[in-house]
Structure 1
Amino acid sequence: MRQDEIWDADTAARYDTPGTGMFAPEVLGPTVDRLAELAAGGPALEFAIGTGRVAVPLAGRGVPVTGIELSRPMVARLREKSDLPVVVGDMTTAEAPGKYTLVYLVYNTISNLLTQAEQVACFRNAARHLVPGGRFVVELWVPELRKLPPGQDAVVWQSEPGYIGLDTYDVLNQHVVSHHVTFGEGRDARVSRSPHRYVWPAELDLMAQLGGFALESRHAGWSAEPFTADDRSHVSVYRLGAVA
């Protein structure tokens, strides 16, 4: 499926879940706090701004925020709550006006780019938008290949009342499809799917070098928790023009 087919009007209408899930205060609060700190008083650019889950509260903290977003339905949803400037386009090539102290990608969005070349192009596009010494922040999950026994290509990564999430892996091509199954009391269930290209932290660091960045910090979450081999995701901060 193409990304514009995934992030359609139906998905945009169901995306916001105020107060719960990704919108829960304990999730969103530390994210906004950390990004406001990293912006260092300057403007920020969000790649794949979506419906403004992070951008709107970050702007409320006094950080001037601009967005790039491929999905027009997601932008329309954002427009219902904010007039933040948004450029409609691909985050690998689209250009936003001005220069920024911070460019950021949250919630695994870089994995929506399905080739290594596109992911490298994303780093290079971030570099084009940053002032010297500016930061590019990437929040990304760690592929759970250690859970795959021989002959199995699927991992259930979340199971709770009314929801099952599982990933199917193509380890040859470094692709994964996330399947989201929601159901209630009856027999019917709703299934949605999205394709991704997974990236190991070490590969991400090499992409950063190709874009002119060096890793400044990596943590397991937005509250600067230490990153370990057992963590399922990380927040990596790259500095433009820094020496590795």
Structure 2
Amino acid sequence: MAPQPSQPDYATEFADDYDRFFGKPGISGTTVDALAALAGTGPVLELGIGTGRIALPLRARGIDVHGIDGSEAMLGRLRAKPAGAEVPVTLGDFSQVPVTGSFSLVYLAAGTFFELRDQESQARCFVNVARRLSPGGLFVFDSHVPEALARAAGGSEVVSEDEDHLVLCHRRVDPSAQRYRSHYVIHEDGRTRHLRVEFRYAGHGELDLMAGRAGLRLRERWGSWAGGPFTRDSAYHVSLYERP
């Protein structure tokens, strides 16, 4: 997950602590396993590469990973990690996919696709990804199910806790605009911070339509990164779009 230029405070404030608060090994490991199985011959491209939470474990498996991100702060954390400086990265708006070459897999994780703030930028991302996929290549990302998102909104979720810190998330959904706002309250070292980040959500039917107009087709839809079925009870899905 990596913020775009429209949300610089979020990127700057979270860069140093992102892995500590959000890098849950079980969730990250399952995502890495799934993407490694889909990578094919490579290279692969992560949109919103951020601190490299997903990209570096993929690289450690011998996969040629490239990345795009809109935050210098996040990329600074990536470059400071072992082997992080060796990952080819581009600073920019990932909806433009401002790179050259073709990729067997383009992916996002942790809801990053929906940091693109409107339908136009999301549709543009599909089009530009399609241009960079090799034949048979995949565009893969996860997404909240809007109905499940609405049901869960209004409550508070413990994102991370330890003896020295507590991170809470509270979501507010605006169905009239297809948007939701996540409020993060971080208490640490006697100090409390309040950060906000906004997302533009879309149902899987709308995503399929954008993909089709970009020349991609749905290959599979999972109910989780573990690859289970997408059902009426799924809170999120992972969509795999293929370039014919």
TM interval, shorter chain, is 0.7 to 0.9
Give 1:157 deviation, angstroms: 5.2
How many pairs align? 231
How many Å separate the matches in 2 of 1:39 and 1:145?
29
Q: Which moved more, 1:51-60 or 1:29-38?
A: 29-38
How many Å separate the matches in 1 of 2:105 and 2:71?
22
* Equivalent pair of 2:183/2:195 in contact (CA under 8 Å): yes
How many Å separate the matches in 2 of 1:146 and 1:47?
26
Calculate percent identity across the aligned residue pairs. Answer: 40
* Equivalent pair of 1:106/1:139 in contact (CA under 8 Å): yes
Q: Secondary structure of the equivalent of 2:94?
A: coil
Deviations along 1:127-186, whole A, 9 cap, x unmatched?
1111111100011222335528xxxxx522524763432211221111111111233696
1:30 matched to 2:30? The reply is: yes
How many Å separate the matches in 2 of 1:194 and 1:94?
22
1:3 matched to 2:7? The reply is: yes
Letter in 2 for 1:164: L
* Equivalent pair of 2:44/2:106 in contact (CA under 8 Å): yes
How many Å separate the matches in 2 of 1:145 and 1:69?
26
Aligned to 1:158: 157
**Taking structure 1 as the reference length, what is the TM-score of the superposition?**
0.87
**Taking structure 2 as the reference length, what is the TM-score of the superposition?**
0.87
Q: Which moved more, 1:25-34 or 1:72-81?
A: 25-34
Match of 2:240 among 224, 237, 242: 237
How many Å separate the matches in 2 of 1:62 and 1:78?
18
How many Å separate the matches in 1 of 2:100 and 2:75?
18
How many Å separate the matches in 1 of 2:124 and 2:172?
26
1:61 matched to 2:61? The reply is: yes
Q: What are structure 2's unaligned runs of at least 5 residues? A: none
Match of 2:142 among 136, 139, 144: 139
How many Å separate the matches in 2 of 1:147 and 1:130?
36
Give 1:220 deviation, angstroms: 1.7
1:88 matched to 2:91? The reply is: yes
Deviations along 1:199-230, whole A, 9 cap, x unmatched?
11111111111111111111121111111222
Give 1:111 deviation, angstroms: 0.7
Change (3 A) 1:232 1:34: same
CA RMSD of aligned residues (A): 2.0
Q: Secondary structure of the equivalent of 1:164?
A: strand
Change (3 A) 1:141 1:157: farther
* Equivalent pair of 1:156/1:164 in contact (CA under 8 Å): no
Give 1:124 deviation, angstroms: 1.0
